[in-house]
Amino acid sequence: SLWGYTTKKDISGWGSFLIMGVIGLVVASIVNIFLGSPALVFAISAIGVLIFAGLTAYDTQNIKNTYLAHAQHGDQEWLQKSGIMGALSLYLNFINMFMMLLQLFGNRE
């Protein structure tokens, strides 16, 4: 999140690729329900951590850019709504990343 906030590089193009990655994770998880492969669980968890780290950086930069664009125009109502939606998207990214880390490093006993 800190990298996404401080970087000068525009990472707005990452959004569609990362969302496709999340869809791929969901499909792979559904396939793994029927296969039951521990190697696939490990791969899903490792790739999921990377995808949600990228989504966190993307969302942080998106929140910052949205705030700067609307703060110049003085649109306070939009800033409040976008702040809530930004917090929700970061919260979901953190929860999903935490779940992937638990799958990756957690004890399955």
The answer to whether 60 touches 1, Cβ cutoff 8 Å, is yes
Domain boundaries, the chain: 12-105
DSSP sequence for 21-51: HHHHHHHHHHHHHHH--HHHHHHHHHHHHHH
Please list the pLDDT of the chain residue by residue as tens digits (109 residues). 888 888 888 888 888 999 999 999 999 999 999 998 889 999 999 999 999 999 999 999 998 888 888 878 877 778 778 888 889 999 999 999 999 999 888 876 6
pTM for this predicted structure:
0.85
What type of residue sits at position 77?
E
- Taking CA atoms, 66 is separated from 17, 22, 45, 69, 75, in Å, by 20, 23, 31, 5, 11
